[in-house]
Structure 1
Amino acid sequence: MRLPNLGSMLTDTGDKRAYFCSFLLLGAVLGLACLVGTPSFVSNKGIMLGWGAMEPTQNKSSTSCKTQCKPSGSEPLPNGIVSRTSNLEMQPMWGSLHTQKEKHVAKASQSLLAMAVGIKQKTVVDQIVEKFFSSNFTIMLFHYDGVVDEWRDLQWSDSALHVSAINQTKWWFAKRFLHPDIVAEYNYIFLWDEDLGVEHFHPGRYISIIEREGLEISQPALDVAKSEVHHQITARGRQGDVHRRIYKSRGGGRCYENSTAPPCTGWVEMMAPVFSRAAWRCVWYMIQNDLIHAWGLDMKLGYCCQGDRTKNVGVVDSEYIVHMGTPTLGGFDENKSNAEQRGHAPVSESSYLGTVVPHGSSGVKDRYAVRRRSYVELRIFLTRWKNAVAEDQCWNDPYPEAGKKLKY
């Protein structure tokens, strides 16, 4: 076979183009032939069927993915109409929707204050809510005594959400009304008791501090001169804005520089906890549906801090509160002192006594009954935790020392 005279072919412009195209076509054919012989090509059904045949496969895969990612029960709906989360903001019933929406967006709350309250603590609660309301918080009150109408004379009352259930703790309310998908739009959840003084506390400054410090779970420190302090870590320090650990070289429960277990570090008390959105999503799942006193929960909060609990959990000193230690939830004798009504309970127990007294109770007798129930719940919670750890073979405990016996 005689090869063509390349010199003569390249003298004509049209011949040049024809030869160049033929050369490219020949190269493409040879490349495709090599590709067909490879195992990867044989195993790839999409290429064997051609590029046109791949589109239905891709669409099918995409559709399957969208269906799998949808919330359970929403599969029949188009993905764009599915609203996964909500908030507690009120919506207007009349007026221009566009105008009202703009106003709503401008005033949308960034954080939530939720409290279990009784009418006997109205004055203190009013002082707390006033501070948070002026800082553009959404306010939600859980009325454990069933009294709602007597709050309506307060100027913020109609803007707050009121939920009433007799003789229930704030953890009972939180489990049922603060689902993570409902409070997903709030940056922080303040889940507070009602017997707290806030003269030296500002919500806006507090949030700026915990954001700067990266605290996912926190609480304001306690003024030691005016508060009932049950755990040293909650006492206010004066050397900075935040502290994350304590040092204790004497007595039981010693705390050192290398301590990683609560309450030496990674711990806050349950009277005034503050949770980030991500931390609350975790904590909500840990709250047991049938255990309403939440004893033992504080020792496990560090698992929900989105990382190292020695860094992401802390107590804010520069914005501090007073823990009055008032026996709340009704049913106490106003003629007796707090110490008399607590029946000389050990200090480590008294932190819970101010928040578990049934409405309409007869005083100390009922308080002891509630305490016994709290201890029962504590044992149940710790047993469940131990069993869950033993059964979950895929779970690696980052804090194995936390499984040691807890003392209250």
Structure 2
Amino acid sequence: MKVSDLQYVLALQHVPNLGDVSAKKLIRHTGSAEAVFKEKKSVLLKIGGIGNTKLSYLFSSENLKAAEKELEFILKNSIKTLYYEHSDYPEKLKHCTDGPILLFQRGNIQLINRKIISVVGTRKATPHGINFCEQLLEELAPLDPVIVSGFAYGIDIAAQRAALKHKLQTIGCLAHGLNQMYPGLHQKYVAEVERNGGFLTDFWSTDTFDRNNFLKRNRIIAGMCEATIVIESAEKGGSLVTADIANSYNREVFAVPGRPGDLQSKGCNMLIKSQQAHVLTSAVDLVYMLNWRSQTPVKPVQKQLFVELEEEEQALYGYLKDKGKEQLDLIALNCSIPTFKAATLLLNMELKGVVRPLPGKLFEAV
């Protein structure tokens, strides 16, 4: 994007009371951000959903002045800008009506043709939640997904550290401008995140830090991803808001169940109970529901010498040992197990390292 074009987009983003939905309407009607400022107010007022209140500050000279100042910050600090109509803007976020017209990026983010999921949860994570998070990403590592989170305390940073450990690209969506980092304690992870992903935000360097920003930030976390995973959450919390936004965008939501009395499981249990989230107990659940299985098999975390199999898994394994290579439908038919359940069992057995998938929906015992 040309510097002159970027300044007008920034100016439009700066207009009070306008918002991203209305800004997109104006751009769509006039053709560009620059054209919005050069169009007559009487013409703009004819656009559905655009009224005097939203246009009251549009023609103020302060918008271009502020944009010029922010542009200086962007150029001086080599900030990359992602315009919502360009190819480098997150593809799924383009389809969210309230997605930002402009994102600011630091780091080395590559999103084209990638599996992208968000992992969120409470800031007061338990050891169980952190361990589950680390194990989940270890199991998913062969699929090479991009891990998105909020870079906050608790589950967020646990997910991003686990992503770095397994050399997965990770993105921190921030609730402030790129001139600062919150929480300050996580500054030590910034360089590594930028080498293996980066940071995204739609806040300016001049925006005052406010906890209410987290709610606005959450739409980016939910919108740019194929699925949102809630690992731990109390009865109320920002991760539940993210899950709600993801559902509104028609994205898949997963929640890790917990014991009824656990405070940090109440939110997850509520999501599952109210059918706002799928149950997530291992990577198999995610791979199955997102249909990733047909794209790339999940590899076992560690091949075990002696593996314990459930009764139905033992039946499938015994059949494959006797039969050799066989198609999924025939395996299910001959073992008297529904096909959908056989697929799940085989995925689990694949993680245990006792079967391997072959082209053409074939499986064989290892």
The TM-score normalised by the length of structure 1 is: 0.22
Q: TM-score, normalised by structure 2?
A: 0.23
